[in-house]
Structure 1
Amino acid sequence: MVAQIVRQGSASFSGVRPLNPSRDLAQVTLLLEEAFRQDLSALHAWARVPVLRNIGAALTATAFMPVSTDNLRGFVYEQDGRIIGNVTLTLDDQRSARWMISNVAVTEKFRRRGLARQLMQAAIDEARARNARWLILNVRPWNDSAQRLYKALGFEAVDTETQYVRARAHTFEETALPLRRLRVAEYRAAYQLALDSVSELLREFRPPLKADFALRWEDRLSERTLDFFAMQSTERWGWFQGDTLTATMTLHAQKLGTPHKLELYVSPQARGSVERGLVAAALKRLAAFPQRDIHTRALMGHSELVSALTDAGFSATRGLTLMYKNFRY
């Protein structure tokens, strides 16, 4: 199927057309406000929305066209001068020819009429025309209708990453793993363990970031500077089987009022045997800092870690399912 796209709009036009930033941004922002209000609030990004709306109004009034880029494309569904649907296509990684679809939104009154499918098809056709190898997107795991649409268009699920929060008052009776602080020379092994702990597709699309493991001296300097000004303590701990690093814990312990942050990785060979002890060790270490809520995240594919977090009092808050489409030329 090829989406039918009209290049020149008119007052009576109804259908999919390319985004015109100078004309469309104000209406698109209103649409995104409606579609993603809850997500924007959770990300504390709600205050930015009126700014974008005002910028869009200014562009419309002045007929100013921002500089276009080959790395960013968008399509809207217009009906009689009103924008009721939107999709954005961006170049996610030039080396691997990977593009990303985002901001798929349709006004509630016009949903379940095939508009989202037409917008998605326009984005897919555009990516194919630009010789994309991969096309990825994120979707809420509870959005069954969107997932059905994406699967019908050839997308497959990679994994779901869920964010968890643990309230301050909760007990977890479990023996902690005997961790020790990692030396700088062991940071690279911790990074390799993180890579090994995720699937091949996740390593392709969303690998752990090297900067998060402070492999370079400039990353370590930046981390220490942030720790000083944010009044937090970043620590990396590991559990070894013999000389082999088998599980890691990175914590960003807060000394002010913000939540603690926790990152946990387990080697594939140790899955199912260390997760509860690793979580217990993290809670034991964080007990040395002021009591705060604790934020962490886990992949649904790592069911043993999800179970350990749940038993330790963590509650799932938000999640995203990563999906992909492979163009085979």
Structure 2
Amino acid sequence: MHRRSALSGLRPVDPSRDLGAVADLIQSAFADDLDEAGYAMLREMRALGRLGPLLWWVGGPASGVHQMLSGFVWLEEGKIVGNVTVTRAPYPGDRWIISNVAVAPPYRGRGIGRRLMEAAIEMVCGRRGRSVALQVRDDNDPALHVYRALGFQGLFGTVHLRLDRVVVPETLPPRDGIRIRPFASSDALTAYRLACAAIDQSAQDEHPVRPAQFEVTVEQRLGDWLRKMAGRMPSLRLVAEGDARLVGIVTVQAAAQVSGSLITLTVHPNARGLIEETLLRHALNHVSRWSHGPVVARHPTFHPAGVAAFRSLGFRTERTLLWMRRDL
């Protein structure tokens, strides 16, 4: 009886012995949502798991590996059937993130997910965290029920969109008073200010906007030149300008996770509904010169006109992830 209880229940994750089983569990639980980047992460976890106790030689328990994989697992008769990962947010340091909340299908509905979440929240409280956040599909009703019961509140959503094949769209002329032009190095600061105005404060609280995100480095320019010389798609950065100020930005870059392209669209609230489709048509024309797809986008739900513009050009919604937070 004592041995069975020791092999079942909650315990902290041990990266030196759990990584392979946790990777298998995550793949089973999130098979429909994993992209190439997700599968690459699982391959890395399995490779690290094969190191076993040698992981402790990579800096010991304070190393990045152990901090990245902190959290809890749930065992039934010695088998890992549940997992939760708990990590400190990159910034600010008193915010934490819960991820990889997974329970094997045969063991769902037994309260294991809730017990894992309670342990994760208790851990963050013990580290004097100010808040804890997570992402969940907006159609995952069982998980949403648990998270709301635990005090999490929805903040914003991200719509994952995909276009499998690019058909060269007709380029629309910009609206009167709007000019579309390439992004210049001198636009970095105004692009940062545009993003601050365009992104909801709730999203900025979780993912602060930094000026450095809009600087085009020498390395990026060299990388674009090399891709072009190799016959591969270089990045594209276009801005929409009206009344001598930026009102929109669209970027296109290679996306290894889909072996295709990623489009990012940012539009000032005062210009929403006016320039989205024009910018996206320019972006798709750029992609069409180099490939036929696929193209993906991750667009916030607080910009419905942007989501509508993607859909009008043939993008389909794969899923919507809801960002939730609980203050501690």
Fold match, TM over 0.5? Answer: yes
Match of residue 156 from structure 1? 153
Q: What runs of 5+ residues in structure 2 fail to find an aligned partner?
A: none
Partner SS, residue 161 of structure 1? strand
CA contact (8 A) 2:166 2:288 kept: no
What is the CA deviation profile of residues 283-312 of structure 1, one whole-angstrom value per residue up to 9, with x for unaligned ones? 345555554433322112211111111111
Residues 260/145 of structure 1: CA separation in 2 closer, same or farther (3 Å cut): same
Residues 239/53 of structure 1: CA separation in 2 closer, same or farther (3 Å cut): closer
Range that drifts further, 159-168 or 239-248 = 159-168
What is the CA deviation profile of residues 70-120 of structure 1, one whole-angstrom value per residue up to 9, with x for unaligned ones? 845311112232222111111113534011111111111110111100000
Aligned residues: 311
What is the CA deviation profile of residues 234-279 of structure 1, one whole-angstrom value per residue up to 9, with x for unaligned ones? 232222221121111223379xx95333221110122223223332
Q: Within the alignment, does 1:38 sit opposite 2:32 as a pair?
A: yes
Match of residue 266 from structure 1? 267
The 5 A counterparts of 1:286-325 are 286-325=287-326
Q: What runs of 5+ residues in structure 1 fail to find an aligned partner?
A: 1-8
Match of residue 52 from structure 2? 59
The 5 A counterparts of 1:55-94 are 55-56=48-49, 59=52, 67-69=60-62, 71=67, 73-93=70-90
CA contact (8 A) 1:87 1:105 kept: yes
Residues 83/198 of structure 1: CA separation in 2 closer, same or farther (3 Å cut): same
Measured after TM superposition, the shift of residue 56 of structure 1 is 3.2
Match of residue 96 from structure 2? 99
CA contact (8 A) 2:236 2:283 kept: no
Match of residue 24 from structure 1? 18
CA contact (8 A) 2:87 2:96 kept: yes
Measured in 2, the distance between the counterparts of 1:207 and 1:63 equals 33
Measured after TM superposition, the shift of residue 169 of structure 1 is 4.9
Measured after TM superposition, the shift of residue 210 of structure 1 is 4.3
CA contact (8 A) 2:160 2:298 kept: yes
Measured in 2, the distance between the counterparts of 1:76 and 1:36 equals 17
Greater helix share, 1 or 2?
2
Measured in 2, the distance between the counterparts of 1:104 and 1:272 equals 37
**Considering only aligned residues, what root-mean-square deviation do their CA atoms show, in Å?**
3.0
**Which among 198, 213, 219 is matched to residue 222 of structure 1?**
219
After TM superposition, the score normalised by the length of structure 2 is: 0.82
CA contact (8 A) 2:197 2:269 kept: yes
CA contact (8 A) 2:166 2:293 kept: no
Match of residue 233 from structure 1? 234
Seq. identity, %: 30
What is the CA deviation profile of residues 132-164 of structure 1, one whole-angstrom value per residue up to 9, with x for unaligned ones? 011011112221211121111111112221232
